[in-house]
């Protein structure tokens, strides 16, 4: 319900007697309470002590609820009904942290911040009561469900003829110890160049068996029709691709390919040669790729003829799959 002029003047007078930080908290608390009371009046069909023909329920006191926000902890009163129940739509059940702090907690969790530091962060943002370890875990449990749904979704609806595979290593805490774990990811590319993360997994290392299990999980979810797999030259990964993704060509990824080419060149020539080679990848179709390859190969011959064969191997696959985006 809207504040009348007298109430607004009274509120402003009270706020002038408090410090700036507490004024913001009080104003936020008053705003939340007004919105809650207005929604309750709409559900009930009447305001407090108001007699109307539209009334469908009666109030039965209120229950207190603390909401932690970036303005501070707000003490709110949620009206109770004699029959039925009421809960304001601007709040969420079983959550005492507003959306802004909720997002901060999840972001901190994703970056591996400890629960104690999350508590300090929440307090620094204005929530005086902080946040408990169990509440951090409860908030982030929703992330686990979202991630699981994403990882297990079907891949049978769209064809991904091109698949990139890669891995990185991250430090994680397992049973009280910080260890290095391999995080593998697959990115699919449709025939029209649209990219999509197909899946990911975490394991102790990049063994052939681990890669096989990961690739088989993608196929079990519906991945099919793969024509070309792009990855580094890890022996276990190449062996797994040959077993699980039979019939698909394999190509070393452009980043590792470029590193391989440049390792035999003097450092002073590497940037120039890299710039020349990149022009091959920028061509729109097989015809232009072939023409640009010949031009680049002639230029490379003047610098280091041994690299022509390596570029030629890459050029053949690039020509066959010229629609792929990298």
Sequence-distant (≥ 6) Cβ neighbours of residue 270 within 8 angstroms: 262
> Which tokens go with 28?
């936020």
Strands (E), the chain: 59-69, 72-81, 162-174, 177-189, 195-203, 228-231, 249-252
Instruction: Please state, in angstroms and rounded to a whole number, the distance separating the CA atoms of residues 277 and 260.
Output: 13
Angle ∠(216,218,221) on CA atoms, nearest 5: 110
Instruction: Please state, in angstroms and rounded to a whole number, the distance separating the CA atoms of residues 73 and 83.
Output: 30
Residue with tokens 């994403």: 150
Please name which of 121, 111, 109 lies closest in space to residue 171, comparing C-alpha atoms: 111
Distance in Å from the first CA to the final CA of the chain? 56
What Å distances lie between residue 268 and 13, 255, 259, 273, CA to CA?
A: 72, 19, 15, 10
Element (H, E) at 216: helix 208-220
Instruction: Please state, in angstroms and rounded to a whole number, the distance separating the CA atoms of residues 280 and 314.
Output: 10
Instruction: Please state, in angstroms and rounded to a whole number, the distance separating the CA atoms of residues 280 and 259.
Output: 16
Instruction: Please state, in angstroms and rounded to a whole number, the distance separating the CA atoms of residues 317 and 325.
Output: 13
Q: Is 186 helix (H, G, I), strand (E, B) or coil?
A: strand
The β-bridge partners of 201 are 184
> Which tokens go with 156?
């049978």
Helices 208-220, 235-244: inter-axial angle, 10-degree rounding: 40
Instruction: Please state, in angstroms and rounded to a whole number, the distance separating the CA atoms of residues 174 and 198.
Output: 26
Q: Is 181 helix (H, G, I), strand (E, B) or coil?
A: strand
Q: Are 239 and 208 in contact (CB under 8 A)?
A: yes
Sequence-distant (≥ 6) Cβ neighbours of residue 73 within 8 angstroms: 25, 66, 67, 126, 127, 128, 129
In order along its 326 residues, the chain shows pLDDT tens digits of 444 545 555 655 554 455 545 666 777 787 778 778 888 888 888 888 788 888 888 888 898 888 777 667 788 888 998 888 888 876 766 455 556 566 666 777 666 677 677 777 666 655 555 666 776 776 677 677 778 888 899 999 999 999 999 999 988 878 878 899 999 999 999 988 899 999 999 988 889 999 999 999 999 999 999 999 999 888 999 999 999 999 999 988 888 888 887 887 788 888 888 888 888 888 888 888 888 888 887 877 665 555 555 555 555 555 555 545 44
The β-bridge partners of 65 are 76
Instruction: Please state, in angstroms and rounded to a whole number, the distance separating the CA atoms of residues 151 and 185.
Output: 11
Sequence-distant (≥ 6) Cβ neighbours of residue 279 within 8 angstroms: 292, 296
């Amino acid at each position: 319900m809207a504040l009348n002029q007298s109430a607004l003047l009274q509120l402003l007078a009270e706020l002038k007697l408090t410090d700036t930080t507490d004024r913001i908290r009080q104003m936020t608390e008053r705003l939340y309470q007004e919105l809650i009371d207005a929604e309750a009046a709409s559900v009930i069909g009447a305001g407090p002590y108001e007699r109307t023909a539209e009334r469908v329920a009666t109030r039965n006191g209120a229950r207190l609820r603390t909401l932690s926000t970036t303005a501070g902890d707000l003490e709110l009163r949620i009206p109770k009904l004699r029959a039925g129940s009421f809960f304001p739509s601007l709040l969420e059940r079983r959550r005492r942290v507003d959306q802004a702090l909720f997002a901060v907690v999840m972001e901190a969790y994703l970056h591996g911040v400890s629960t104690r530091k999350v508590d300090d962060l929440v307090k620094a943002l204005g929530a005086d009561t902080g946040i408990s370890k169990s509440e951090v875990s409860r908030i982030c449990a929703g992330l686990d469900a979202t991630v699981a749904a994403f990882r297990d979704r079907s891949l049978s609806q769209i064809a991904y003829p091109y698949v990139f595979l890669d891995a990185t290593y991250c430090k994680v805490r397992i049973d009280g110890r910080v260890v290095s774990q391999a995080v593998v990811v697959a990115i699919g590319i449709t025939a029209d160049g649209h990219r999509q993360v197909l899946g990911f997994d975490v394991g102790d290392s990049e063994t052939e068996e681990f890669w096989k299990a990961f690739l088989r999980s993608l196929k079990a979810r519906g991945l099919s029709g793969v024509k070309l797999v792009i990855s580094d030259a890890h022996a276990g990964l190449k062996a797994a691709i040959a077993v699980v993704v039979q019939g698909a060509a394999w190509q070393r990824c452009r980043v590792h390919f470029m590193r391989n080419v440049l390792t035999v060149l003097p450092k002073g020539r590497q940037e120039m040669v890299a710039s020349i080679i990149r022009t091959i990848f920028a061509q729109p179709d097989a015809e232009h790729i072939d023409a640009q390859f010949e031009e680049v190969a002639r230029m490379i011959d003047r610098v280091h003829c041994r690299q022509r064969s390596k570029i030629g191997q890459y050029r053949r696959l690039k020509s066959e799959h010229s629609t792929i985006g990298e």
